[in-house]
Amino acid sequence: MRRAAVLGSPISHTRSPDMHRAAYAELGLDWTYDAIECNDRDFAAFFAGLDEQWRGLSLTMPLKEVVLDVVEDVDDRARQAHSANTVWRTADSSSWRATNTDIPGICSALGDVGVDRLERVRILGAGATARSAVAAVAEMGAVSIVVHARRPEAADEVVRLARDLGCSSRGADLDVQWGEDDLLISTLPADAGAPWAAALDADRIGHTALLDASYHPWPTPLAQAWARHAPVAPVASGRDMLLWQAVDQVRLMTGAVTDANLARVAQVMRSALSTDGSSP
């Protein structure tokens, strides 16, 4: 029996078990996947106690940063974003690796709605998801990133990351501002984006795409405003981001996802998300 789990605190409303178990069933794997309450103080001890049955961990807050000090082999994506959401045992079981599948998850969610190239990006929020968003859009060709935070100085770490990745970047407060943006990414809770939603009109949106990382409830006030004022502008949901980061986790942990079965695995995982949920 192989084991995997999602860890974090709070963890009671996570949707990860639904998705991973659906994938295991599709792949014919006799694996278990559980949700385990674990805070940042207890993670190192939990990780040290994992036996050979364990193949991988999905990590949510508050573990995405502390894991970087626990797992020795951390890939470049996770190091750059200072955030890892995935730990998996290598194929020969000799070691554990940590990575950030939120980054390709964001790229895939945007690709689903036809966004595959961009230059000017505006990001609301300055936490771990914002750092992953910066890394993702840098991979997609972004050259300019404005980071909005409640306190502009809180955006400093995200701005530094953007500059390290070759983008021009600056911080700003959460007052509504617009430019000639290709993409707006909100990493704020759904209700926190309401002031931006209230200030929207078709002239301000134009053809700017939206990725709202919040997905419960969906559509968020921001996504509703986007659809009302710019029905042709692409809108990607946090649910799509959540799906694709989980698909990549299953691929890494099991080694059983191939080009031939990827579409079917993604479909059964998407179906597992069809009921309401609130956390990754």
3-state secondary structure 76-111: HHHHHHCCCCEEEECCCCCCEEEECCHHHHHHHHHH
User: How many CB atoms sit inside 10 A of residue 275's CB?
Assistant: 8
* Closest by Cα among 48, 212, 69, 196 to 129: 212
pLDDT on residue 265: 99
| Phi, psi values for residue 82, rounded to 5° | 50, 45
Instruction: For each of the domains in the chain, give its residue range(s) and CATH number, in order of start.
Output: 2-101+240-272 (3.40.50.10860), 115-233 (3.40.50.720)
Average pLDDT, integer, range 185-207: 83
Q: Is the CB of residue 228 less than 8 Å from the CB of residue 199?
A: no
* Closest by Cα among 182, 60, 169, 78 to 132: 78
> Residue 139 above 80 pLDDT?
yes
* Closest by Cα among 116, 176, 108 to 142: 116
Give 99-111 pLDDT, tens digit per residue. 999 999 999 999 9
Active site residues: 64
> Residue 73 above 90 pLDDT?
yes
pLDDT on residue 6: 99
